Structure 1
Amino acid sequence: MRFKMGQVNTKVLIVLISSFASAAFSEDFKTVNGKEYKDAAIIRVEPDGIVVKTKSGITKVYFAELPKEIQERFHYDQQKAGAYSAEQAASYTAYQRQ
């Protein structure tokens, strides 16, 4: 199996950029109940919460658990979140019935 040097360098560069980007955008979050997430990298924003990666793993933090400032920063809409959660629950129920 032969690789061209340009292909290998490009792949290495992409991995390095991804690593530095996630480290650069890490931040601390604290829920309204006092639970802290240190050096959390935001992986995905969903209508009802954010998915974060920390040293201990990946978890979803619901906007209802976060302070108002963070909710506003990610444009939290309670009605959209409720509809999204209901849709996800219905999808999961349909999946279980298969």
Structure 2
Amino acid sequence: GAKGIVYTFDLTRRETFDNLLTWKEEVESKIGIQPNILVGNKLDLLNSDIRKIKLEDTNNLKHVLTAREYYETSAKFGTKVDDAFSKLALEMYKAFNENE
């Protein structure tokens, strides 16, 4: 089964952010609580006029998800994508070693 989770939402579409709590419940019902990170994607499209999610909201959701870190990424340009996956891999490794 999955040993890590990337909760991802579109920085320009509020409904994708709002749906993450439903996804959390569904994922945890199937695989339990796993190391996870929160990722806001489409940073390349972001400007102050179209930002739909406040940083305060992402910090609150990060806490609710028990996410290890929050990243704003651009899959289009690769911005912070490696950082996000490296952090998740490290957290998965730590969790694996703690359970050994």
TM-score where L is the length of structure 1: 0.32
Higher strand proportion: 1
Bigger RCO of structures 1 and 2 (CA < 8 A, at least 6 apart): 2
Q: Which structure has the greater CA radius of gyration? A: 1
